[in-house]
A and B are shown apart, each in its own frame.
Chain A
């Protein structure tokens, strides 16, 4: 028997009982729709979370000085003043896995502007620090490489500092003094709010790295190096490269320990991944249960259908259908019911995801793999739960079936 004929016969039989077929499919439709909706929203929120992680800095790597070990007493991280602007220069020159590198020199002190004064942190950074940390400007502009080279006395204010020192005026273009060194304000940062630790991230002044290093700090060592790997996949390669470059710059012997520490956001990524893993497990079990229920619905209706069509089966067997033909007919019918339900479920799931996403402001991400898997799985459910009724039909005795009332 030709396959397309079998499929045609199955479609006809489904079309003959439209209402019943629809109700049968409902279990599968609801199951698939909810799975598709939740997966789309789940992946959407995961993408949102990843976006937030990325906002901490694009593929951020932080290099801090190592610890001093004198006579068995460890000075703790950062106690060894090992990082210099030469390190930064070398990284900028030779690194292939890093997109941006920035020095970080910190100083603190009293800042005076007119009759206002404020005590805050001054961070000397490279011009590309904005890109590394995904910071944005509110007004004015950030300083340039030229400002860094010439140790220009320019400052970019955090929102808090700007509000404290210049409550009634636009700070851009104004002058202020940091520890008695006069600076010109060239820009104001966009508001960042509090960090996860509760620190006010806007209570800060940015100035060019060399300016801070030579005018406000010791002129030799810097506190941190921030760097961006070229992609999230190349984080490990970037780390290795950083280590190698810094070790050679510091002329460390092969046996010597690193005199610096590299940190990244692996932990945050790990948490996000484990949350996603739990979500996926939860969704899969919901999918499993709903498809199981849908499959049982299909089996139920197929059993009814086999009983109802006993005479038809008897006739088909009498005129020469092999038991396998009858089996195939009912299996295909069950599979089509299930697949059709799956397709309708996918369509309604996608529109539901889109709608709910719009409503809640969450992005919905459609994963083609999930959709394909769902289609295959619903087909398999149909075949699995259709098998028992189909076998029952195939094993009917044609004589009894023909006489069935």
Chain B
């Protein structure tokens, strides 16, 4: 494992709901290295969404420090957070969050629209490349309602990849997908991870977590479990197996 890319130390996040104070994250410390594939699990209310928001620089902690590539995230303002998200983080959401009535290509181009620092010469070519990488090179001009759930999520992954970020955060990426498509997405994730990309996937499905290299489980805003998955399953192999089973059943 390489040097820590993300380091959370003593992170607390409190929300006040009227009189009651909710401790969404309670003194959480964690390090994530470059190239890891992490699954964050936990029941609802365990603080995994809050952790995801903080990891994704969408939210700042109440206390504690968060270093992303050496940058002290808690000191950044909204503008700087936006630039950091644009340059360093790719997001994949449960609900895909594609713009309706907008082609796959335009959806993927969206983050490049806000890229101020790298000045990508040809955003379109770059977006086509990203779509080809997720296997949708022939669906450039399709709008979300013309695509299946799995294809929509692939567009979303292409959108996350287009800025070439070092890390991708996925929040329940397979929550809305059937088991076969789930396997496809996980296979894609494993492939990207194999290319050196850091992946953090929040999920409540144990099946999905099995493909990750490291499992983190939260409860009541605290670390319950943090262990290396010695033998992560291979999604590509499982996918082939699933196909064979299916053809056997048909036969």
- A residues near B, CB below 8 A? 1-2, 5, 9, 12, 16, 311-312, 314-325, 398-399, 402
Contacts and interface: CB of A to CB of B under 8 A. Distances in A.
Contact of B53 (A2, A16, A321, A399): A399
25 contacts: A1-B113, A1-B114, A1-B116, A9-B113, A16-B101, A311-B97, A312-B99, A315-B110, A316-B114, A318-B56, A318-B85, A319-B110, A320-B85, A320-B86, A320-B111, A320-B115, A320-B163, A321-B113, A321-B114, A322-B79, A322-B114, A323-B82, A398-B58, A402-B93, A402-B97
Contacts, number: 57
Interface in B190-227: none
Interface of B: 53, 56, 58-59, 78-79, 82-83, 85-87, 91, 93, 97, 99, 101-102, 110-111, 113-116, 159, 163
Contact of B79 (A316, A318, A324): A324
Given A399-B53, A399-B58, A321 B82 contact: yes
Nearest to A311: B97
Contacts of A325: 114
A308 to B, nearest CB: 11
Contacts of B115: 320
Contacts of A319: 85-86, 91, 110-111, 114, 159
Given A399-B59, A402-B93, A323 B78 contact: yes
B189 to A, nearest CB: 19
B113 A5 contact: yes
Interface centre among A9, A311, A317, A319 (most CB of B within 10 A): A319
A317 B114 CA distance: 9
Contacts of B59: 399
Contacts of A314: 97
B114 A320 contact: yes
Nearest to B116: A1
A210 to B, nearest CB: 88
Contact of B82 (A312, A315, A320): A320
Nearest to B50: A399
Contacts of B78: 322-323
B204 to A, nearest CB: 16
B76 to A, nearest CB: 12
Contacts of B83: 320, 322
Nearest to A312: B99
Interface centre among B56, B97, B113 (most CB of A within 10 A): B113
B139 to A, nearest CB: 20
B227 to A, nearest CB: 29
A233 B181 CA distance: 84
A398 B111 CA distance: 15
Nearest to A2: B113
B37 to A, nearest CB: 22
Contacts of B79: 322-324
